[in-house]
Chains A and B, each alone.
Chain A
Amino acid sequence: MSARDRGVNGSDGISPTRARVSRRAFVAGVSAAGVAAWTRRTGAQPKSTITYWNGLTGADGKVMDELIDSFTRDTGIRLEQQRLPWADLYAKLQVAVPAGEGPDLALIHTVEVPHFANDGVLEAIDDATASGKGFRGDDYLPATWQGGTYQGKRYSLPLDVPQHILYLNVKVMKDAGLVGADGKPRGPGSRDELVTMAKRIAKSPDVFGFAIGTVGPGRYTWGFHNLLWQNGANIYTADLKRAAVTEPAALEVAEFWAALEGQHKIAPPANANCRDAFIAGKLGMWIAGSWNFAGLREAKVEFVAVPLPRLFKQPVVWAMPHQYAFPKVKTVDRSRRDAAWAHVRWMTDHVAEWTLKAGQVSASRKAHGDPRITGDPVLKALLSQAPNWQVGQPTPKWVAAENLTRPVIESVYTGQKPAKAAMEDLARQINALPD
């Protein structure tokens, strides 16, 4: 009684039930095959086709689709996309690539490069090949170009730069009297100014002055990283061997994190949806990702975006470039690999379109001078932060450390644990991560 008997094909005639089962499955199988064949016949016959996985769910996904269409028109190469939310995409890559079922091209985040490279999921990009295809380090901003390397080898090429920015809700700021002479709200210049301004906003009932993070500000590790970097601290020590979260600079940030909701009372609860709060006019100053502004425009909220203030020592801006990478395949098909390269080249050449429509500033400098880009106030503000971009440390344990950080900073935010004890606990956990 093999699976095949029970499944798609025939009936072994033993009992009506089983016949009905296999008949039903058979019909289903035939109709599915029929549909598949029909759709394939009505499709075009391209020069070559490659598979491409990315996590661009949401509005930028549609923009990517348009650009891919243009690319196919220009070159005749087709891209078969598989799009999944990022977390699911990474889990799938990790399972599929070792089994030889991975894609020809993938778009991932910078911080994923070290651990994927370490696990042998990505193929190294040889420098000669890269420059042969026209990719040179000078064209890129340092933070983005560095981010694609691990242990001296390059594994990816950056596309664009999602980053943090400070959003100000115009109405809320106006109500709190925090607008300048031109009627436009101003951001704070320092930590103390931030707290003062936020307290003024929070005087209105149910309105919050300041928040970091899209949903769940208590758990927003990217915001925490941003603040750490502003104070010259980081998750790991410079040699990437031990956790550095108990150093004084890091503790200072943790104390600030703890004070936001409990002491200063300017920030919403740890699990609040800051984005909804901002849109509903319940939040005045909001540090969040650049990918939010398209949604804010769609929701018709009046807001301005200003560069991140210097809350600690340096006005560092957290950035997480998207990177093109080539997952390992069992046998390299020359034509498919070349097609993938062609796509990356084309996208880099047309990246201004990507910036304008998807709102993500490019990693390559060349597009930065485009007047259409500098004409948009939000894009201009994002561009102005370029000298201050910083990315995560190139250790394969980065993502795991981040997952450990999340509940710890949440317990600090809610006051469950005092900052110092929590950071010491986090350091212990991070140091216990296996290699």
Chain B
Amino acid sequence: MLFAVYRLYPLLEGLRLSFTNARLGRPTQQWVGLANYTRLAEDTRFGVSLWNTAFYTVASTLPILAVPLVLALALNRGRLRGLLRSVFFFPFTLSVVTVGLAWLWLLDPVVGPFNYYLRSIGVPARSWLADPHTAMWAIIGTTVWWVTGYYLVIYLAGLQDIPRDLYEAAALDGASSRHAFWAITLPLLRPVLLFVGVTHVIGSFQLFGQVFVLTGGGPGDSTRTVVQHLYETAFQNFFQFGAASAMAWVLFAVILAFSVLQFRLLRGHTEY
């Protein structure tokens, strides 16, 4: 219950701060009521960053759920499982800054290899991270590369847990492997999917590191995320702690709503 103290107190203090006009370094604070929240409603950049974050969350959920799953299924059927699993896991050991820098170079429009190879096969190069239409997708791609390994390991453990006799019984009954997937594998993996899904949503609403390194929120504000907006409000533009706290609570409410929805959807049938 120590953690309640360490976690709850800052949380409530944050709530209190959101009703003041606190500034980092300013010794006095004044109660300003809901002013911070109403100002948020006018802050179009907050709205934009909220939208971007939501877009990222929704758009990335399917790849993050599916790619490691497909890989896990393939790894399960193939050989050299241990080696391959370690290879795919490797990116997860890197810090977000390293990942960002590596991909920044890879995707660089002038000296990056990705565009270089594209050009050599005749495809015109694009500046992936500077084009508002592709920037977010590039970030999603980078994130998929980064975290797939961890979810892969989780999926593999889940897959190996499914008793083989179920598959054998299904084969005996004449079921195709595709049918077996939908009828056996997926339902039995539901709790794993739920775990991956919820973890991912929680993480993606807090998206900050990759975006900061790869695009800085650009081009314009098209990849700006809520946490970046919050961080800048709290630590850069004026250290407005009250406003930042208000932002955090709004974000919290949004994520809560989202997660409740997700839980309802996936909770479905855990009895089988």
How far apart are the CA atoms of A269 and B130 in the complex, in Å? 7
Q: A3-B2, A94-B25, A417-B220 are in contact. Are A277 and B110 (CB under 8 A)?
A: yes
Q: A219-B218, A273-B111 are in contact. Are A1 and B236 (CB under 8 A)?
A: no
Residues 144-184 of B at the A interface (beta carbon under 8 Å) = none
Interface check A12, CB cutoff 8 A:
no
A25 to chain B, nearest CB (A): 14
Tell me the count of chain B residues lying within 8 A, CB to CB, of chain A: 35
Q: B25, A119: Cβ atoms under 8 Å?
A: yes
Contacts of B224 in A (CB 8 A): 407
Q: A218-B219, A282-B111, A433-B238 are in contact. Are A414 and B132 (CB under 8 A)?
A: yes
Q: A3-B2, A206-B110, A414-B132 are in contact. Are A271 and B218 (CB under 8 A)?
A: yes
Interface check A335, CB cutoff 8 A:
no
Q: B238, A434: Cβ atoms under 8 Å?
A: yes
Q: A98, B2: Cβ atoms under 8 Å?
A: no
Contacts of B2 in A (CB 8 A): 1-3, 6
Nearest to A3 among chain B residues (CB) is B2
Most chain B beta-carbon contacts within 10 A, residue among A121, A397, A400, A403: A400
A205 to chain B, nearest CB (A): 9
Nearest to B132 among chain A residues (CB) is A416
Contacts of A367 in B (CB 8 A): none
Q: A94-B24, A98-B25, A407-B217 are in contact. Are A276 and B110 (CB under 8 A)?
A: yes
Q: A400-B236, A407-B221 are in contact. Are A280 and B132 (CB under 8 A)?
A: no
How far apart are the CA atoms of A414 and B104 in the complex, in Å? 18
Q: B25, A120: Cβ atoms under 8 Å?
A: yes
B142 to chain A, nearest CB (A): 14
Interface check A32, CB cutoff 8 A:
no
The digit string for B210-242, where 1 denotes a CB below 8 A from any CB of A, is: 000001111111101000000010011111100
Q: B132, A271: Cβ atoms under 8 Å?
A: no
Report whether over half of chain B's contact residues are helix, strand or loop; otherwise say mixed.
loop
Residues 247-286 of A at the B interface (beta carbon under 8 Å) = 268-273, 276-277, 280, 282-283
Contacts of A374 in B (CB 8 A): none
B111 to chain A, nearest CB (A): 5
Interface check B109, CB cutoff 8 A:
yes
How far apart are the CA atoms of A416 and B232 in the complex, in Å? 23
How far apart are the CA atoms of A407 and B237 in the complex, in Å? 14
A406 to chain B, nearest CB (A): 7
The digit string for B1-29, where 1 denotes a CB below 8 A from any CB of A, is: 11000000000000000000001111100
Nearest to B129 among chain A residues (CB) is A271
Q: B109, A268: Cβ atoms under 8 Å?
A: yes
How far apart are the CA atoms of A399 and B236 in the complex, in Å? 8
Q: A271, B127: Cβ atoms under 8 Å?
A: yes
Nearest to A115 among chain B residues (CB) is B238
Nearest to A274 among chain B residues (CB) is B110
Interface check A97, CB cutoff 8 A:
yes
Contacts of A167 in B (CB 8 A): none
How far apart are the CA atoms of A3 and B4 in the complex, in Å? 12
How far apart are the CA atoms of A27 and B132 in the complex, in Å? 52
Q: A272, B237: Cβ atoms under 8 Å?
A: no
Interface check A216, CB cutoff 8 A:
yes
Q: B235, A94: Cβ atoms under 8 Å?
A: yes
Contacts of B105 in A (CB 8 A): 273, 276
The digit string for B68-106, where 1 denotes a CB below 8 A from any CB of A, is: 000000000000000000000000000000000000110
A313 to chain B, nearest CB (A): 29
How far apart are the CA atoms of A67 and B232 in the complex, in Å? 35
How far apart are the CA atoms of A94 and B111 in the complex, in Å? 38
B117 to chain A, nearest CB (A): 13
Contacts of B111 in A (CB 8 A): 273, 276-277, 280, 282
Contacts of A2 in B (CB 8 A): 2
Nearest to A413 among chain B residues (CB) is B219
Q: B219, A271: Cβ atoms under 8 Å?
A: yes
Q: A269, B109: Cβ atoms under 8 Å?
A: yes
B114 to chain A, nearest CB (A): 13
Nearest to A91 among chain B residues (CB) is B235
Q: B216, A219: Cβ atoms under 8 Å?
A: yes
How far apart are the CA atoms of A2 and B24 in the complex, in Å? 30
Contacts of A410 in B (CB 8 A): 218-220
Q: A411, B127: Cβ atoms under 8 Å?
A: no
A196 to chain B, nearest CB (A): 22
A206-B119, A269-B127, A276-B108 are known contacts; what are 11 more A-B pairs with Cβ within 8 Å? A91-B236, A95-B24, A119-B26, A120-B25, A219-B218, A269-B130, A272-B108, A400-B237, A400-B238, A404-B237, A416-B222
Closest 7 CB pairs of A and B: A411-B220, A269-B127, A400-B237, A271-B130, A270-B130, A119-B25, A277-B110
23 interchain pairs, CB-CB under 8 A: A3-B2, A91-B235, A91-B236, A119-B25, A119-B239, A216-B216, A269-B110, A269-B127, A270-B127, A271-B108, A271-B109, A271-B215, A273-B104, A273-B105, A282-B111, A399-B237, A406-B216, A407-B217, A407-B219, A410-B218, A411-B218, A434-B238, A434-B240
CB within 8 Å of A: which residues of B? 1-2, 23-27, 104-105, 108-111, 119, 127, 129-132, 215-222, 224, 232, 235-240
